[in-house]
Structure 1
Amino acid sequence: MAKTLSKDDLPRLSTVELLQLFSGLQAPALDEMHGEYRARLLAQPNWLAAAAGWFAVANPLSRWQCKAFRPVDGQTGRGYNTFLQGGRIVQRYPMLTLLAPSRFDGQPAYQLVYRHFESLCGDMNMVDEVRKVGPGLYLGIGTWGFTRGQRHNPQPFVLEGPVAPYRGDIGQTRKNFVISTRELPATSGV
């Protein structure tokens, strides 16, 4: 895929094509990811993932709006998701961010590790990987699950932005948590 892709091109691609594209992209710098980024699911690998995605993020009672990030110390950052619920923005699902090898191709990706914080996404071992498509446009591959196989089921999404400033940190860190190969298969003890 040599041509430059726009945000309108990504929804036309299959999950397989999105993974191929992802493998050819570079990770954004940690300090580049600062603010809120409009978020939307892309093609899912199967009907079950599509249904779960709809329930989790497209549900009209609590619609996913953004992922947000801020750099912390040059090695890590923090973030959260926002949802529109009852006419107001609600922050949920905090995450630790860092650059680490992708579970899909071993190349660097901007990683969102939810298990660092107490939350439903952390309990489900959710990890998202993000790479840059072009200025203000990012392709993400979400994963979650309790087995290695489940955690290799790609769930693509797109981020655009930043569209708003970072609202502030949320969440309680998980006691005694250390990143392991469950979160980042190519590394441990990060």
Structure 2
Amino acid sequence: MDTHAADELRRLDTSGLLALFTTLEAPTIAEIDGEYTAALLAQPNLFAVVTGKVSVENPLGPWLCKAFRPVDENSGRGYNTFGEFGQVRQRYPMRTLLAPSRYDGAPAYTLVYRAYTSLCGSINMVDEVRRAAPGIYLGMGTWGFTDAQRRVARPFLLTGPVGPYRGDIGVARPAFTPGPRELPGPTEPR
């Protein structure tokens, strides 16, 4: 793993991270397998900083990892892990697939939370991930109830894998198919 690449990502502001993201390639479904240490990077505004601190940097339940497993060559499953009273808890299941990025239309490893019943699914969370270096991945998280809210990129860093996938969780939404809310493609012309 190239720790220099991770350090460089930590130094960039949100606009720099987004500009870099559009130059990176998506990992394959098969490449992303196991648990990856997760951390927020520079956030775009005060609201994102505060919601990030409360939701994933909370010392009472810190965000530890995102985890993934391929299901087939086109899709996978995943979850997030959080620390809780000395235990690791799996939360917020997602479906993974390669889809056009909302930022540039090029492929991104995409995490669709609405495929499962959870808080993240209810707020229309979708993450996009691209490879910054071997074992280093730059993610752009989005959530919200309007198109404008879902365009605000909330950057994060994944490194690993650091452990095995713990097992599937969650209740799938019956007959769910991702639509333009989850997979809007680019929001601006290339």
TM superposition score category, shorter chain reference: over 0.9
Checking the alignment, whether the CA contact within 8 Å between 1:97 and 1:113 is kept in structure 2 is yes
Residue deviations 1:64-119 (CA, integer Å, cap 9, x gap)? 00000000011110000000011100000000000000001111000000000000
Where in structure 2 are the equivalents of 1:82-161 lying within 5 Å? 82-161=81-160
Checking the alignment, whether the CA contact within 8 Å between 1:70 and 1:79 is kept in structure 2 is yes
Secondary structure (helix, strand or coil) at the match of 2:47 reads helix
Secondary structure (helix, strand or coil) at the match of 1:171 reads coil
**Equivalent-residue separation in structure 2 for 1:92 and 1:29 (angstroms):** 24
**Equivalent-residue separation in structure 1 for 2:113 and 2:90 (angstroms):** 14
Aligned to 2:5: 6
**Equivalent-residue separation in structure 2 for 1:84 and 1:140 (angstroms):** 21
Runs of 4+ in 1 over 3 A off after TM superposition: none
Checking the alignment, whether the CA contact within 8 Å between 1:66 and 1:83 is kept in structure 2 is yes
Where in structure 2 are the equivalents of 1:28-39 lying within 5 Å? 28-39=27-38
Checking the alignment, whether the CA contact within 8 Å between 1:5 and 1:133 is kept in structure 2 is no
Aligned to 2:67: 68
Secondary structure (helix, strand or coil) at the match of 1:7 reads helix
Residue deviations 1:29-69 (CA, integer Å, cap 9, x gap)? 11000000000000000011000001010001110000000
Task: Extract unaligned runs of 5+ from structure 2.
Answer: none
Aligned to 1:182: 181
Question: What CA RMSD, in Å, does the superposition of the two structures yield over aligned residues?
Answer: 1.2
Secondary structure (helix, strand or coil) at the match of 1:31 reads coil
**Equivalent-residue separation in structure 2 for 1:172 and 1:13 (angstroms):** 37
Secondary structure (helix, strand or coil) at the match of 2:6 reads coil
Instruction: State the AA in 2 paired with 1:181.
Output: P
**Equivalent-residue separation in structure 1 for 2:123 and 2:178 (angstroms):** 14
**Equivalent-residue separation in structure 2 for 1:51 and 1:105 (angstroms):** 27
Checking the alignment, whether the CA contact within 8 Å between 2:103 and 2:185 is kept in structure 1 is no
Task: Extract unaligned runs of 5+ from structure 1.
Answer: none
Q: How far does residue 5 in structure 1 lie from its aligned partner after superposition?
A: 5.4
The sequence identity of aligned pairs, in percent, is 60
Instruction: State the AA in 1 paired with 2:127.
Output: D
**Equivalent-residue separation in structure 2 for 1:121 and 1:183 (angstroms):** 12
Checking the alignment, whether the CA contact within 8 Å between 1:33 and 1:70 is kept in structure 2 is yes
Q: How far does residue 176 in structure 1 lie from its aligned partner after superposition?
A: 2.8
Aligned to 1:23: 22
Checking the alignment, whether the CA contact within 8 Å between 1:114 and 1:121 is kept in structure 2 is yes
Secondary structure (helix, strand or coil) at the match of 1:176 reads coil
Give the number of aligned pairs: 184
